[in-house]
């Protein structure tokens, strides 16, 4: 019993030392991607790190777009010392369909901050800014936030109802 108590005490002291030195992550972020082609993201996101396939976010084509909680829980979140990140691109096709890809994760783990520093505030940035939902135009949204699993499917999708209506109107 005594060795177990000694191990637990040591573990608690190590955890406390990590908290005091700021080594314990401040939050967790959802981490997943809907497109299996990392180069797809790299060609569109400035400063995206070249990450080995085994270290890339979990591939979850549908769950990552709408419900990251459905991705297996042991792979759905990652500890993060800074901002959570969600990057979304969608294109309305001529036939009325919508192509969408999303990447979620910890900004500092995915993006080279020397190339592209995260914004100081928590908000979303859209490009192009007009969002007229034209056919064959790529619309992107990059969202940054701080907090426990703040890069969920609900945050950063203020245009989803408009996108759905625009898609129905084109049919």
The DSSP string of 83-125 is: -EEEEEEEEE-TTS-EEEEEEEEEHHHHB-TTTSPPPSS-EEE
Region 106-131: mean pLDDT is 91
113: confidence class by pLDDT, cuts 50, 70, 90: very high
Quote the pTM value: 0.72
15: confidence class by pLDDT, cuts 50, 70, 90: very low
Q: Answer yes or no: is pLDDT of 170 > 60.
A: no
Give φ, ψ of 79 to 5 degrees: -70, 150
106: confidence class by pLDDT, cuts 50, 70, 90: very high
Q: Is the dihedral of CA 58, 65, 28, 86 positive or negative?
A: positive
Contacts for 123 with CB less than 8 Å, ≥ 6 apart:
143, 144
Region 8-15: mean pLDDT is 34
- pLDDT value at position 36? 94
Query: What are the tens digits of pLDDT across the range 29-86?
Result: 989 999 999 999 999 999 999 999 999 998 887 878 777 665 555 567 889 999 999 9
- pLDDT value at position 68? 64
Q: Answer yes or no: is pLDDT of 5 > 50.
A: no
Q: Higher-confidence residue: 140 or 10?
A: 140
Give the Cβ contact number of residue 141 at 10 Å: 19
Q: What ranges do the domains of the chain cover?
A: 24-170
What span, in angstroms and rounded, lies between the C-alpha atoms of 73 and 89?
25
What span, in angstroms and rounded, lies between the C-alpha atoms of 126 and 108?
20
């Amino acid at each position: 019993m005594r060795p177990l108590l000694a191990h637990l005490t040591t573990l608690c002291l190590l955890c406390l030392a990590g908290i005091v030195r700021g080594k314990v992550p401040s939050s967790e972020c959802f981490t997943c991607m809907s497109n299996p082609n990392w180069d797809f993201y790299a060609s569109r996101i400035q400063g995206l790190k070249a990450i080995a396939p085994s270290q890339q976010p979990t591939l979850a084509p549908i769950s990552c777009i709408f419900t990251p909680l459905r991705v297996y829980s042991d792979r759905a979140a990652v500890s993060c010392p800074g901002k959570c990140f969600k990057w979304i691109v969608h294109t309305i096709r001529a036939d009325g369909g919508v192509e969408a890809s999303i990447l979620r994760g910890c900004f500092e783990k995915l993006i080279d901050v020397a190339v592209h520093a995260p914004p100081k505030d928590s908000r979303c940035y859209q490009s192009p800014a007009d969002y007229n939902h034209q056919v064959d135009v790529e619309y992107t949204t990059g969202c940054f936030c701080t907090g426990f699993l703040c890069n969920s499917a609900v945050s950063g999708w203020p245009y989803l109802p408009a996108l759905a209506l625009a898609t129905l109107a084109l049919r």
